Amino acid sequence: MAANHVKRAFKYRFYPTDAQAAELSRTFGCVRKVYNLALAARTEAWTLRQERVNYNATSAMLTAWKKTGELAYLSEVSSVPLQQTLRHLQGAFHNFWNKRAKYPTFKSRKKSRKSAEYTTSGFRYRDGRLTLAKMAEPLDIVWSRPLPDGASPSTVTVSQDGAGRWFVSMLCDDRAVLPDAPAGSAVGIDAGITALVTLSTGEKITNPKHGRKDRARLAKAQRELSRKAKGDGANRAKARLKVGKVHARIADRRRDFLHKLTTRLVRENQVVVIEDLTVRNMLKNRRLSRAIADASWTEMRSMLEYKADWYGREVITVDRWFPSSKLCSACGTLQGRMPLNVREWTCDCGTTHDRDVNAARNILAAGLAVAACGDGVRPQRSTPGGQSSVKQEIVPAPPTRGVSQPRG
């Protein structure tokens, strides 16, 4: 049995009382306000004085803000989520300075995620009952699955989605266990649109296209919203909630499908090989952007990576320029230009290939080479005589390529 002690978040839906909903809504607003104030202060300090303001300085600012008449209401909610949002801002700047993310942006009242994070000093968890700071009664949580035996949450995050639903996420220590995969088992995955994934075994898993199925329902809800006068009226709020519910339905079904698929792949294989796709650039294709977004390849890759980390498996990414579709997996001959409408082709060696299955097999072979040498693998395009060659050329790969880093 493969087992790792990892931090895992267990998410549940809950139904707050009117008083709890009002308290949480105030907390969300204060968290957003503090984040925006701290971001403005840090931006001003850097713009005017080239000074980097750290978490300790913004924490002192928060104390001063609470003493002013204009911001005295910040003292009415728990201080823990306010301190946590300053830590999140510090992390956002850390990622920016290390060129892993863009410059932090201000939170919007209507568009930003409504959430508040509590550490152990901001909640009490006893006998399966969770009570947050500033609240007299425990939350009415729907325990869809139990927490690990003996587990106690280290942090609790409360959120409300666009459909008006309330969720609580509890981060706990867990001993992740899966049966050992068969020795040497590995699979290559080619991501697509008609078939969401094609495996090197030849199996194709159809793309359920959840967004396409609910497109008419979403369009109707959006038309109704567009007819409402802009502002904070109750009718517009109701129409916005209808749109949010359709989006939530699509996201929930897509996430459920991806969880089942990725868990199966990680359960059955010790090594999973995928392509390092630049989804952001692919979304610029106006003809395919909607279908690519609906496939949600980035979320699928993220799930594969953190589940592999949990269960002691390995995810390998191969160079995005590796010509997996045009390379014959039987003899290694590299074909010429191959448009997307070509789904089957025959190599000079006489082998007839399904485009996606052939690509998955080549991805697996390249991934195993990546595991052996640690770099991206790309076949030479031709020999000096002009003929294709199967000789492997090892090319330096950027930090994000090659063997993927574990994710928690």
Q: Give the residue carrying structure tokens 């290390």.
A: 98
- On the 0-12 / 13-18 / 19+ scale of CB atoms within 10 A, 165 is middle
Decide if 335 contacts 345 (C-beta within 8 A): yes
Cβ within 8 Å of residue 298, ≥6 positions away: 279
Cβ within 8 Å of residue 387, ≥6 positions away: none
Backbone angles phi, psi at 249, to 5 degrees: -60, -45
How far are the Cα atoms of 106, 281, 341, 401 from residue 284, in angstroms, in the given order?
25, 6, 19, 22
Let me know the angle formed at the C-alpha of 367 by 198 and 401, rounded to the nearest 5 degrees.
105
DSSP 217: H
Q: Give the residue carrying structure tokens 């916005």.
A: 240
Which residue among 161, 276, 309, 356 is the active-site one?
356
Q: Which pair of tokens denotes residue 197?
A: 């994934």
Which residue among 23, 117, 161, 190 is the active-site one?
190
Backbone angles phi, psi at 184, to 5 degrees: 75, 5
Please report the beta strands in 39-107, taking only residues with DSSP state E, as ranges in sequence order: none
Q: Which pair of tokens denotes residue 44?
A: 């001003």
Cα–Cα distance for residue pair 387/369, rounded to 1 Å? 23
Q: What is the CA radius of gyration of the chain?
A: 25
Q: Which pair of tokens denotes residue 257?
A: 């499908």
Decide if 6 contacts 310 (C-beta within 8 A): yes
Cα–Cα distance for residue pair 246/110, rounded to 1 Å? 17
Which residue among 161, 275, 294, 309 is the active-site one?
275
- On the 0-12 / 13-18 / 19+ scale of CB atoms within 10 A, 125 is middle
User: Annotated catalytic, 173?
Assistant: no
User: Annotated catalytic, 275?
Assistant: yes
End-to-end CA distance of the chain: 20
Cα–Cα distance for residue pair 320/401, rounded to 1 Å? 8
User: Annotated catalytic, 180?
Assistant: no
Active centre residues (catalytic): 190, 275, 356
